[in-house]
Amino acid sequence: MEMLRVWPIVCEFGIGAILCFVGIWCGLHGGYLNLKNADDRRLLFILIGGYFFLLGIMCIFTFLSPNWANGGSL
Amino acid sequence: MIAQAIGGNLDYAVMLGYFVAVLGFGLYFGRYTKTTKDFFFGGQRFSWWLIAFSCIATVVGSYSFIKYSAAGFRYGISSTQSYLNDWFWMPILVLVWLPIVYYNKITSVPEYLESRFDRKTRVAATIIILFYIVGYIGINLVTLGRTLQTLLGWRIMTGAAVTAVAVALYVYAGGQTAVIMTDLVQGLILLIAGLGLFAGAIYHFGGFGEFWSLLPRAHKYAFSDFSSPPDFSFIGIYVQDGLANTGALMLMHQGFIMRFLSLKSVKDSRRMVVCWILVLAPLAAIATSCGGWIAKALVNNGELVTEPGDSFVKAANFLCAPGVFGFVLAALTAALMSTADSLINAVSAIFVNDIWKPYVKPASTDRHYLLVARITSLCAAGFGLVLVPIFMDKTLYSAHSMFTAAVTPPVVIAIFLGITWKRYTPAAAFVTIVGGAILISLSFVWPDALVGPFDFGMGPDSYDFMRALFGLLAAGALGVSVTLFTKPKPEEKIRGLVAGTQLDAMRRFKGAEPNRRPGEKVRLRVKIDRNLSGQNVVTLPQSALDKMAAEPGDLLYASHIRWWYGGLRSVHVKAGAPIESEDADLVRISPEDAASAHFTEGQQVVVEKIM
C-alpha cells in the first residue's frame, strides 16, 4: 500500500472526525440536539452517514479507480 | 492568450442575451424589497432548495472554471479536493453557529463578536472583514475583466465596469431577494453548462471507460500526494482550503451568514446544508474541473493542443456547437456575477449594521437605513471597480491574496473558540484577532523562521498554503493562552451565544418556551381580517392547530401552495387563539401580513409550525 496515498485520507478524515465530534457534542450538550426527537435523530444519522459516504467515495477513488481497466471492461 | 479566435457571433449573442435576462430578472425582484430585513435577509422566508442553489452559485467564483480546470489538466481528479472539505464543518454549522446567529437575530459577524465579547473586538473585526470583502470584490472584477478580455477582446476595465454596473443595479433594486433569485438561475446555468460539457465529452469519447483510459494513472487519484508538489500538495490544499478557507466560508463570510438568515427556519437550514454540501458541491466540483480532464484526454488522443490555463475554454470550444458554446460562456459570467452580488450585499449589511447604525445615525427609521444600504451597494461596487487598476498590477493582486490569507485564520479561530468554549474571554478574542493578524503579517517578513517549521519539507514554494497552518496555530495558541490568564464574561451574559445554550437563544427568539413537538402542514384558505391589523397574528380553527401540534403563541409560517415559489410569497406569523367558525378551512390574517406575503382573499395557502 502506498502510504503517501493513505496519509491524505487519514489526515482529512481524522481531523474531520474531530470537527464532527466537536459539533455533535456541542449540539447534544444543553439539549439542542434532542435524540428523542425523530428529526434530530435523522440529522445525526445523516451527519454520520455523510461522513462515511465521503470516506467511501475517497477510498474508491484512491484504491480502486486508478486500477480500473481501460475501455469496455468498466 | 486565446483572444477573439474562439466563439462566433451566435455565441456572443447568447451570452449577451443571458446577461440582459439576469439583469432584468434581478430588477424584477426589487418589488419584494421594502425593509432592511428584506434587503439584507430577503425577509427570512426562503425554502432550503432555493438557498442551496444560491449558495453553490456564490461558492463557484469567476475564477473557478479557469483555476480548477487548469488544476484538473495538470493533476487530474484531485482538482476536486477543494470542494469536498465542507462536510466536516457541517455539525458545527447546523448545530451551533446557525442556531446562535438565527435565534439571536444577529445581522453581522462583528455584531456577534460584540455580543459575545466586547466592542473593541467588534471594531477590529469590522475593519478586517470590510477590507477583506471590498478587496475581494475588486479581485472578482479583475478576474472577470481578464476572462472577458480573453473571450471578447475587451479591455479588462471595460469588462469589469460593465459587470459591476449590472450587478450593482440589481442588488440596489432587489437586495438579498434579487441576489438569491438570480443566483438560483446562475447556479443552475453553471451546473448545467459544466455537467453538460462533461456528458458531451463522454459521448465524444464513446463512453466513460474510453475517457478514463485516456487519462494518465497519476490523474486518477482523489487526493494529490501528501507533500508534493509544493504548489499542489494535499497538506497545503487541506490546511489552506479545507481548514482556513472553509472555516471562513462557514463562520465568517458575511455573504453566507446573510444567506443562512434568509431561510424560513433553522430546520430548513439542515436540509439546505445537506443538499448544498453533499449533492451540489460535488456536482460543482465536477462542473468546474471537468474542462481540464476533458482537455487532457483530448490532448492525449491527439485532438487538441492547449495550455492548462486555457483548458476549460478550449475544451468547451472544441466540443460545443455554435450557440452552445455561448451558453458555456454565460456560465462563466454567471459564476462571476453570483459571487460579486453576494459580496456587494454583504458590504452593505456590515456598513449599515456595524458603522452607520451604531456610530453615525442611531435610532433612525428603517426607511433611512434602507436608503443607506442601497447607496452603500452602489459604493461597494464602485470601490471594487476603483481597485481594478490597482489589482491589475499582479504584485498587488498577490499582496491582497496574501493579506486575505493572513486575516481569515485569526477571525475564524476567534469565532470557533467563541461559540464552542464558554471560558474563552473577551481579552483573548481581541488578542486572537489583532495579535494573530500581526503574527501572520510578520510571517511575510521572516517566512523561513515562522512558516518554515510547518512546511512539511516542501520549501518556500509551499508557504502561500502553509501560512494558513501557521496562522491557525498561532491565533489558536494566543487565544488559549490569554484565556487562561484573563477573566471570562459572566455566564448569564453569554447565554444563547455559546454552545450548550442554543435553547436559550430559541426562547429569546420566540419570547416563550419553544414548541418542538412534531406536527404536519395544513392547507387553508385566506380570509383577510382588519381586526387583526398591526398584530402579526393569525387565527385558525382548533383542528388546524391540532394537526400542526401548535398552540396559541407559537410561531407559524404561511406560504403559497406552489412549492416552486420557494417562499417568495410567504409570511411569518404568530398563532392566535383558535376560532370556531362555519368554515373549518379558513386562516384569518391581517391586511399587512397578507400584503407582505402577496396573499389574496380566498387563496389557498400552506401553514406550518416553526416552533
B158 part of a folded domain: yes
Query: Which residues from A are below 8 Å from B277, CB to CB?
Result: 50
Residue A3 lies in a domain: no
Cα separation, B584 vs B601, whole angstroms: 16
Helix (H) or strand (E) holding B366: helix B366-392
- Mean pLDDT is lowest, of A14-28, B173-187, B218-232, B408-422, for B173-187
Does residue A4 carry a pLDDT above 80?
Answer: no
pLDDT category of residue B166 using cuts at 50, 70 and 90: confident
The residues, ordered by sequence, that sit 6+ positions from B249 with a Cβ below 8 Å of its Cβ are B59, B86, B256
Q: Are A15 and B96 an interchain contact pair (Cβ–Cβ within 8 Å)?
A: no
Mean of the pLDDT values across residues B401-429?
88
| Whether residues B142 and B68 fall in one domain | yes
Measured CA to CA, the distance from residue B62 to residue B332 in angstroms comes to 6
The answer to which of B283-287, B578-582, B602-606 has the lowest mean pLDDT is: B578-582
Tell me if chain B has a CB within 8 Å of the CB of A56.
Answer: no
Which residue type occupies B51? I
The alpha carbons of chain B give a radius of gyration, in whole angstroms, of: 25
* Residue B503 belongs to a domain: no
Residue A1 in domain:
no
For A13, nearest residue in chain B (alpha carbons): B88
Nearest to B85 by CA among B356, B288, B277: B277
Q: What is the pLDDT of residue B303?
A: 92
Q: Which of B440, B462, B485 is the last residue of a domain?
A: B485
Indicate if B327 and B457 belong to the same structural domain: yes
**From B499, which residue of chain A is nearest by alpha-carbon distance?**
A26
Whether residue B492 is contained in a domain is answered as no
Q: What is the per-residue pLDDT across B91-128, written as a single tens digit (0 to 9) for each?
A: 999 999 999 999 998 988 999 999 999 999 999 999 88
Looking at the fold, whether B547 and B442 belong to one and the same domain comes out as: no
A20 touches B at CB < 8 Å: yes
Q: Which residues contact B32 (CB under 8 A, 6 or more apart)?
A: B38, B42, B43, B174, B177, B568
Residue B406, pLDDT > 80, answer no
pLDDT at B400: 60
Least confident of B31-45, B140-154, B299-313, B425-439: B140-154
Substitution target in B223, B228, B424 with the highest count of A β-carbons within 10 Å is: B223
Domain boundary among B470, B485, B500: B485
Q: Considering CB atoms only, which of A43, A50, A71 is closest to B209?
A: A71
In terms of pLDDT, which residue wins out, B2 or B537? B537
Contacts with B184 (C-beta within 8 Å, 6 or more apart), sequence order: B50, B53, B54, B57, B566
User: For residue B509, is it within any domain?
Assistant: no
- Three-state DSSP class for residue B609: strand
Predicted local distance difference test score (pLDDT) of residue B403: 64
Average pLDDT for residues B164-173, to the nearest whole number?
A: 85
Is residue A24, in this structure, part of any structural domain at all? yes
Whether residue B392 is found in the same domain as residue B446: yes
Q: Does residue B499 form part of some domain?
A: no
Residue B131: give the domain boundaries.
3-421+428-485
Q: Is the same domain home to B475 and B552?
A: no
- Whether B226 and A11 lie within 8 Å, measured CB to CB: yes
Our CA-based measurement puts residue A23 at a distance from the nearest CA of chain B, in whole angstroms, of 4
What is the CATH number for B307?
1.20.1730.10
Using DSSP, state whether B571 is helix, strand or coil: strand
Mean pLDDT of B76-88: 88
Q: In sequence order, which residues have a C-beta less than 8 Å from that of residue B563 and are 6 or more positions away? A: B47
> Dihedral of the CA atoms B542, B548, B554, B556 (nearest 10)?
-110
Domain count across chain B? 2
Enter the C-alpha cell of residue B403. Answer: 493579506
Residue B507 near residue B527 (C-beta atoms within 8 A) = no
Q: What is the pLDDT of residues B193-237, one digit of tens each?
A: 889 999 999 999 999 989 999 999 889 999 988 888 888 889 988
Among candidate residues B163, B158, B116, B117, the one with its CA nearest the CA of residue B137: B163
Cell numbers placing B325: 458554446
Position A71 in a domain: no
- Give the pLDDT confidence score for residue B103 in this predicted structure: 94
Q: What's the rounded Cα separation, in Å, for the pair B193 and B188?
A: 8
> Pick from A4, A12, A22: which is nearest to B92 by CB?
A22
ipTM for the assembly: 0.93
Greater pLDDT, A2 or B460: B460
- Mean residue pLDDT of chain B comes to 87
Strands, E assignment, B486-554: 522-528, 537-538
Q: What is the DSSP letter of B251?
A: H
pLDDT confidence of residue B19: 78
Do the domain assignments include residue A72? no
Domain membership flag for residue A69: no
Do B58 and B145 lie in one domain? The reply is: yes
Subunit contact B270:A43, Cβ cutoff 8 A: yes
* B510 in any annotated domain: no
- For residue A65, tell me if it sits in a domain: no
Q: What mean pLDDT is predicted for residues A41-58?
A: 93
Distance of alpha carbon B4 from alpha carbon B84, whole angstroms:
35
- For strand B555-560 and strand B604-609, is the pairing parallel, antiparallel, or unpaired? antiparallel
Q: Is residue B408 a contact partner of residue B252, using CB atoms and an 8 Å limit? A: yes
Can you tell me the mean pLDDT for B34-51? 86
Rounded distance between C-alpha atoms, residue A48 and residue A55, angstroms: 11
B381 and B522 co-located in one domain: no
Same-domain status, B521 and B468: no
Asked if the C-beta of A38 comes within 8 angstroms of chain B's C-beta atoms, the answer is: yes
> Is the same domain home to B534 and B477?
no
Residue B317 forms part of a structural domain: yes
In the predicted structure, residue A72 carries a pLDDT above the cut 50: no
- Which of residues B270 and A71 earns the better pLDDT score? B270
Check whether residue B458 and residue B573 sit in a common domain.
Answer: no
Domain CATH number, residue B555: 2.40.40.20
For A61, the closest of B93, B99, B221 (CB atoms) is: B221
Predicted pLDDT of residue B395: 58
What are the DSSP calls for B448-486, one per residue? HHHTGGGSTT--GGGHHHHHHHHHHHHHHHHHHHHHHHS
Residue B336 domain-assigned? yes
**Residues ≥6 apart with Cβ < 8 Å to B17:** none
Is residue B480 located within the same domain as residue B537? no
Does pLDDT of B396 surpass 70? no
Checking DSSP bridges between strand B570-575 and strand B537-538, what pairing results, if any? parallel
Write the residue in A32, A68, A72 that is nearest to B503 by C-beta.
A32
pLDDT at B397 over 60: no
Question: SS3 for B55?
Answer: helix
Does A19 fall in a domain?
A: yes
Lowest mean pLDDT: which of B88-97, B138-147, B295-304, B360-369? B138-147
Q: Are residues B550 and B481 in the same domain?
A: no
Instruction: Quote the pLDDT of residue B2.
Output: 43
